[in-house]
Amino acid sequence: MDLQTWLAFFAASCLIAVSPGSGAVLSMSHGLSYGVRKTGATIAGLQLGLLLILLIAGAGVGSLLLASEVAFSVVKVLGACYLIYVGWSQWRAGATSPIQGDDAAPAGPWQKRFLTGFLTNATNPKGIIFMVAVLPQFMTEGRPLWMQLVVMAATTVAVDVTVMHGYAAGASALRRLMRSASAVRTQNRVFGGLLMAVGAGLFFVKRGGQHA
């Protein structure tokens, strides 16, 4: 991959990362609830899911997935249901975890936050569609595929980690305003509702070449 191609891919990665989506909503939600440090596990999970999608798309499996109505529908429904479940769980949390200090909100085991992040990205059909459509535009014939995928993966993850931490930090900065039970209830319902809305939106995602 030459410098010009990499710069174009870097710009595309930045646009992908800053675009509002389930990963951004989750990063802000956990940043507000648990702080930036504990949200690190969530963001790490998001990156593993992102890498999985990139490898699937790069290996050509993504194209096969998009070609199969059944396989695509399974991934779409699983992703939608999972986001709705996560959102509903946060909505129902109400004011049970008032924020009292920098690290007072009970975040639970880091493995749970990591898994939530991983499944959020790994089951997102929109991510697969985008990667399958975008990656080939930056592939150079005559050069090793694995080397190009490594460069793309490193670039994508570096950009996404930075942006997701930015989302989490921005939300965390508001924590001192969210100490009361009513504020926490509002926060849980706002982010829970957003996650459910994003999940519901996945039901309307169509395969490439189709229209909603």
Mind listing the pLDDT tens digit of every residue in the chain (212 residues)? 678 778 888 887 887 787 767 888 889 888 888 888 999 999 999 999 999 888 877 776 555 655 667 766 776 787 678 778 777 877 776 555 444 444 445 567 889 999 999 998 888 776 777 777 667 667 766 777 778 788 888 998 999 999 999 989 988 887 766 555 666 677 677 777 877 887 787 677 665 544 44
Residue 93 in 3-state DSSP? helix
Give residue 208's identity as a one-letter amino acid code: G
Which residues, 6+ apart, have CB-to-CB distance to 7 below 8 Å?
none
Provide the pLDDT for residue 103.
Answer: 44
CA distance 162 to 169: 10
- As a whole-number percent, the residues of the chain with pLDDT over 70 amount to 72
Provide the pLDDT for residue 209.
Answer: 45
CA distance 30 to 34: 6
Provide the pLDDT for residue 137.
Answer: 67
Q: What are phi and psi of 24, to 5 degrees?
A: -65, -45
DSSP letter (8 states) at residue 97: S
CA distance 132 to 43: 23
Cβ neighbours, 10 Å, residue 56 = 19
